Amino acid sequence: MIYLTNIDKYYDSKFQRTFVLKAVNLEVKEGEFLSIMGPSGSGKSTLLNIIGLLDAPSAGEYSLYDKSVLDLKEKAKVEYHRNFIGFIFQAYHLIEEMTVYENIETPLIYKGVKGRDRQAMVADLLDRFNMVAKKDLFPQQLSGGQQQLVGIARAIIGKPKLLLADEPTGNLHTTQGEMIMEVLRELNNEGMTIIQVTHNEKFAEYGKRIIRLEDGIIRKDVIKASPQPSPMEREKESKVMMVESGEPNVRIV
């Protein structure tokens, strides 16, 4: 699905050229769950941005579904963002002046989905994430975990093939983080390819494959034979319960 060959990314300042990524080669197959780890400033976000077509590499080749995507026009990139790639961020990046409902709906509007279909799709996701009661709240009124759920909902509403998550749990407590990771695992089980960046060893283990980045170079690339079932996975349900410290979650439909 993803082929990166000899990707360089550097920034030129007055006196020197600083490499952020150097000769990165990476192949990601459809259905993979990849965790990228590495110290701060090692180029993880940059790599993710390049994969997500948000940034262009300084050198190298990149093909997505056997098509080179380096010299794409703006219009074509937009098509990828609408139909193939979803993003989740550490800082959630929800649109503040929009309600939960509107945030999740936004990609569908840009995609041109008709009003009625949109309504059904958003309702489905709200239901799946147990957020029906919160649909008219604004992001600031939600906890971090809830905001990230909205972020995920927004990222996957367009049914992307590829989900890119840049430290999705970085701002969350462990319990909330685990909940998010469960959601990601479930999505992966449904067939979505996921690439996540994380600092957390435990969360990295959710991935089926872990690569380690240091100074822009891939140092390690480990593919796990079979992922250990996590304690959470055993009580897996079709619907994810919101795990909140303190307040027990009551679903109101």
Partner 1 sequence: MVKLLKLAFRRLFRKGEHTATRIISLTAGLAFGLLLLSEVLYNYSFDSFYPDTNRIYVVHENFRRDKSLDKMDSSPRVSGAIAPGLKADVPGIEAATRLNNIGSSVFYTEDKKSYQAQFSLADENLFDVLPVPLISGNPKEILKSPMACMVSSKIAEEIGGDVTGKVIEIKRYPGKKITIAGVFAELPENTNYKYDILISMVSTGQFFSWDGSTNWLGNDRYYAAVKLSPGVSPESLAPAVRQMQVKHQEIERIEQQQGGMVLKYSFIPIRKLYSDGVKDMIIILTTIAFAVLFVSFMNYILLTLSALIKRAKSSAIHKTCGAEAKNLQLLILSETVLLFLISLVGALLLILILRPVAEVQLGHKLISVFNAHVLWPLFFLIILLVILTSYLPGRFFSRIPVATAFRDYQQKKNKWKLVLLSFQFVGASFILTILVIVSMQYNSLITADHGYRTKGVYFGATGGMEASKISVLLNELRAVPEIEKVGLGHGLPIEGAAGNNIHSDDGEKELFNIADFYFIDENYLSILDIPVFEGDSFSQQNSVVNDLLISKRGAEKLKVFNGWKNVVGKQVDISEHGKSTIRGVFPDFIVNTITNPNSRPSVFYYYPAEKFEQVRAERSSFPFYVLIKTNETSEAGMLKKITEIFNRFLPYQDAVVKSLEMEQKASYQSEHGFRNAMMAGNAIILIITVIGLLGYTSNEAARRRKELAIRRISGATLSDILRVFILDLEFIAVPAVLLGLAGAWLTVSKWMQNFATKIPLHWGIFMVCSLFILLLVALIAAYNYTRTANRNPVEALRYE
Name which position in 46, 147, 188, 196 contacts partner 1 (CB under 8 A).
46
Closest distance of CB 113 from ligand ADP, Å: 33
Binding of Mg ion at residue 45 (CB under 5 A)?
yes
Closer CB to Mg ion, 176 or 196, in the complex: 196
Indicate the residue type of 241. M
Name which position in 1, 23, 70, 78 contacts partner 1 (CB under 8 A).
78
Binding of partner 1 at residue 89 (CB under 8 A)?
yes
The CA distance from 78 to 89, in Å, is 19
Name which position in 158, 177, 207, 216 contacts partner 1 (CB under 8 A).
158
Closest distance of CB 203 from partner 1, Å: 21
Binding of Mg ion at residue 35 (CB under 5 A)?
no
Name which position in 32, 37, 44, 49 contacts partner 1 (CB under 8 A).
49
Query: Distance of alpha carbon 52 from its chain centroid, rounded?
Result: 10
Q: List the beta strands (DSSP E) in the chain.
A: 2-12, 17-28, 33-37, 59-64, 67-68, 85-89, 162-166, 193-197, 209-214, 217-223
Contact 210, 225 (CB under 8 A): no
Binding of ligand ADP at residue 43 (CB under 6 A)?
yes
Site for partner 1 in 106-135 (CB under 8 A): 106-107, 109-111
Per-residue CA distances from 146 to 15, 17, 68, 206 (Å): 45, 41, 37, 20
Stretch that binds ligand ADP, among 39-47, 130-138, 155-163, 177-185 (CB under 6 A): 39-47
- Spatial CA neighbour of 147 closest among 132, 134, 156: 134
Query: For the chain, what percentages of helix, strand and coil (3-state, to nearest 5) are there?
Result: 35, 25, 40
Token look-up 């906890």 returns 143
Binding of Mg ion at residue 198 (CB under 5 A)?
no
Name which position in 26, 37, 45, 57 contacts ligand ADP (CB under 6 A).
45
The CA distance from 232 to 213, in Å, is 28
Both tokens of 93, joined, read: 């990046």
Crossing angle of helices 144-156 and 174-189, in 10° steps, is 20
Binding of ligand ADP at residue 46 (CB under 6 A)?
yes
Binding of ligand ADP at residue 52 (CB under 6 A)?
no
As beta bridge partners, residue 212 has: 37, 220
Closer CB to ligand ADP, 186 or 215, in the complex: 215
Binding of partner 1 at residue 137 (CB under 8 A)?
no
**Interface with ligand ADP (CB under 6 A):** 11, 20, 38, 40-46
**Interface with partner 1 (CB under 8 A):** 45-46, 49, 52, 54-55, 74-75, 78, 81-82, 87, 89, 93-98, 102, 106-107, 109-111, 154, 158
**Interface with Mg ion (CB under 5 A):** 45
